[in-house]
Chain A
């Protein structure tokens, strides 16, 4: 018997796999010169030859590959050490509170914040100049846009650590951390070594896909690369977007060929990572068999805490500086504070913010709502059929997060041009939904499955239909996780850059796409205004998710947190 709820999983599969599959097809065709409408001349390898003739292409590939892997190694290391050293402590719980705001902040805003902090004329230099350095002018140092992409990797790590930590948190309940700690402690292992030997393998198995997503994003992201990445040459993905935006239409073939190359590069990064997994696991086993106990791991513990605090602190400090800039009058180096404050920047920027703000809100709210609906349908279907989503389904959820965005968004854009839907709201919504959906599902699945089903049994015993039970019992009691899903979905949509730029085609703009566009001009005052909205929107989403249940449940003692 086919249940109506089958719609949930069916639509979700379509939504996640469809765009990726069709998008890839739409990228492959122009790459090989087959493109009705672009004047492609039939199958040829011409564009690949042209691609490999581009100056310094190998350099761009190396940058993408190394920054992807470096970001994954660093962020995973920090998360692992921090969890090992602090899981179950008050410090750990305090850090959890910072997760929400850090996670929901768009990558672009974090990159801008860090740029404002570390640039030669940035806040850190202003703080120590001229007193400590003697500099009356910013030093001539290549800090932002540095050739080895250190600043870009730093910003990516600062943004990915909260994501991996959240995923680790979700996996922690299944890991017997406390008992492992007692046992390994009794055997004389240090906190960190005991955790890595005893609890980490089980946790890592569960966060493997998120780690893949981190590698994929870091090796193919565009907005952070544009704001902080090297410029001569830029990373592969940043160059692709430049080609894609070239008015000369033949460049799109080149961009599509490049997008397939990006797919290979990200694939290679993942292969290298899998190789590293084996290597490191073998090393760990060797260490365990050799009885390496690492009793004095105090410095490591301090390092992990410092890394956490610095990465979170840098983003918050940079955002604070940005907010200051938006009200700043003249503010010259090395002054730590502006010489005056003015509302002029806001007055100038606000009228222009209205339209992108409207688009951001509309697309964010609607895509989060649709994602919530589909997720609930999927989970209800799971309950009714008693079949949990298996490993394959789980991988499918991560598909849009692991296939580099450029590779299939290019193709989607191509298909939308052909169908005349480019730069329309429905198309933009659809593109956002592809990325909002995975997070929505990931965020609701655990709370949903841990719901006490005896409430439903009681309702059934009282003769209520499954529908009534769902709407009168289950959903109201799940209001809190549902609203968190909504807040996360909304913040994911707010932060999306590449899908917005390519599918909105410059005519539909959001706060994030405008902020990145403004970043190149370095007008810190106007960027400050946009970054403020980038901060405000997700925070507002989370505020609603916190306040609404508090209001609704104020007379229900059992529902108080």
Chain B
């Protein structure tokens, strides 16, 4: 458990910042993007790379998965070799803690030499940082050399994150999509549900074989969003912030759905798996029959690690499942801005994206457009063996866009009040 409010993390603040700090008048009165004189000039990329040499980049990223941590270690080695950048992965268990750090630094007037250089971020955390003006000025991500390869045409979520326009304040890093897994040795393909309603029918026909992680686990919350999108009368309300009257009306079908589901869920809804890895274990044990993840290659990954039998396969819903993009963002007060820019650019590079999509490594889908890449790289991507249980990109079905972040907060709160036992 990483705890927030680490105000005085010991760090070597280069002297030049300290001197500047004395000369810069602090003005916290306006909110918006704070442009700083010391922001590197991205148009002159050479100079950014030069400035980044010898910097240490504190990358605050969720550290709960071994394969992701290992991938970031590789990124660190590459950056050390090519650009003499030292990448320090600050392993978070909740991205909100990194946001809280920046908030605390802003409150303490630390507008230079902050302790966070780069954050792995999306959704409500991105929305909250953008709104509070805690991010590096607009447009930087779209000026990075590797932005050219990003698939803007077919992946709208790289430009709009949970209904919030990104405006180049975060660099896309990878794609997520809700995908369901089942064990084909136990379950016939013909009986697979193809919508949330069918899933409920299936659960009622197979009591005790389906569950979801209890919110605020983000995989569990994502499932709730999927059901919300499918059951809400008018999906357009989800693109607006949730207000009182709206919320009760809009979420009523969701909670009716859950009331029915819990009666037939695993352990009759008296307990829930804690997170996705726990669901994976339950699928392996045969306690659950259908589970889901936010990464299409999770199942193939688990097969390779002996965590799941090689009879596991994936499916999605016909009308589409929830999808989004995850980004890296740079706080306005980052110490190593140049290093962070070079890191963000490297994370978007075809080489790094290719390795990331390899299920042996991580299996996280790329943000790049194949049509924008040179043919040799296209061939490399095509040659990736995504794994026996992974759906090809064209089989993943339509993307349902994320609701406005406020919906999730309200749903989680209502869920807690409704389903925590009273006495």
Contact = CB atoms under 8 A, between A and B. Distances in A.
Nearest to B279: A522
**Chain A interface mostly:** loop
Contacts of B99: 247
B284 A332 contact: yes
B278 A233 contact: no
Given A249-B5, A413-B3, A233 B270 contact: no
Which of B3, B4, B91 has the most CB atoms of chain A within a 10 A radius of its CB? B3
Interface stretch (A138-146, A311-319, A475-483): A138-146
Contact of A55 (B7, B96, B422): B422
A505 B3 contact: yes
Interface stretch (A177-185, A276-284, A417-425, A534-542): A417-425
Nearest to A245: B1
A505 B93 CA distance: 11
A486 to B, nearest CB: 30
A417 B214 CA distance: 31
A56 B422 contact: yes
B100 interface: yes
B416 interface: yes
B163 interface: no
B105 to A, nearest CB: 13
Contacts of B208: 140
Given A137-B287, A526-B66, A247 B4 contact: yes
Interface in B384-420: 416-417, 419-420
Interface stretch (B77-85, B148-156, B301-309, B328-336): B301-309
Contacts of A142: 267, 270-271
Contacts of A120: 285, 287
B2 interface: yes
Which of B4, B64, B277, B287 has the most CB atoms of chain A within a 10 A radius of its CB? B4
B66 A348 contact: yes
A526 B66 CA distance: 10
Contacts of A417: 5-7
Interface in A44-62: 55-56, 58-59
B275 A145 contact: no
A140 B5 CA distance: 41
Contact of B270 (A232, A252, A349): A232
Given A140-B266, A142-B267, A522-B278, A506 B423 contact: no
Contacts of A241: 1
Contact of B272 (A231, A233, A340): A231
Contacts of A244: 3
A221 to B, nearest CB: 16
B146 interface: no
A245 B4 CA distance: 7
A308 B272 CA distance: 33
B286 A332 contact: yes
B12 interface: no
B206 to A, nearest CB: 11
Nearest to A421: B8
Interface in B63-113: 64, 66, 69, 90-94, 96-97, 99-100, 104, 107
Contacts of A127: none
Contacts of B278: 520-522
B267 A140 contact: yes
B111 to A, nearest CB: 18
B39 interface: no
A248 B10 CA distance: 23
A332 B285 contact: yes
A247 B306 contact: no
A147 interface: yes
B7 A420 contact: yes
B383 interface: no
Nearest to B65: A521
How many B residues are at the interface, by size bracket?
35 or more
A342 interface: yes
Contacts of B417: 55
A241 B3 CA distance: 10
Nearest to A519: B274
Given A502-B3, A506-B3, A330 B271 contact: no
A330 B309 contact: yes
A145 B271 contact: yes
Contacts of B273: 522
Given A137-B286, A342-B306, A352-B69, A423 B281 contact: no
B28 interface: no
A333 interface: yes
B100 A521 contact: no
B39 to A, nearest CB: 27
A136 interface: yes
A344 interface: yes
A329 to B, nearest CB: 4
Which of B104, B280, B305 has the most CB atoms of chain A within a 10 A radius of its CB? B305
A388 interface: no
Interface string A507-524: 100000000010011111
Interface string A328-349: 1111110000001010100011
Contacts of B97: 247, 506
A352 B1 contact: no
Given A59-B423, A121-B287, A522-B277, A344 B7 contact: no
Interface in B253-276: 266-268, 270-275
A501 interface: yes
B245 interface: no
A520 to B, nearest CB: 4
Nearest to A234: B420
Contact of A232 (B7, B8, B64, B421): B421
Contacts of A140: 207-208, 266-268, 287
Contacts of B214: 231-232
B2 A507 contact: yes
B275 A245 contact: no
A136 B185 CA distance: 13
A344 B5 contact: no
Given A142-B270, A332-B285, A56 B420 contact: yes
Contacts of A137: 285-287
Nearest to A418: B7
Contact of A247 (B66, B100, B282, B307): B100
Given A141-B267, A330-B309, 5 more contacts: A55-B416, A231-B272, A232-B419, A423-B9, A506-B1
A-B complex: 3 closest residue pairs judged by Cβ atoms:
A506-B2, A247-B96, A420-B8
29 contacts: A37-B7, A38-B5, A59-B421, A59-B422, A120-B285, A136-B286, A140-B267, A142-B270, A245-B94, A247-B97, A248-B100, A249-B5, A252-B5, A332-B285, A332-B309, A333-B286, A352-B69, A417-B6, A422-B6, A423-B6, A501-B1, A506-B92, A517-B1, A520-B275, A521-B275, A522-B278, A522-B280, A523-B277, A525-B305
Interface of B: 1-10, 64, 66, 69, 90-94, 96-97, 99-100, 104, 107, 207-208, 214, 266-268, 270-275, 277-278, 280-282, 284-287, 305-307, 309, 416-417, 419-423
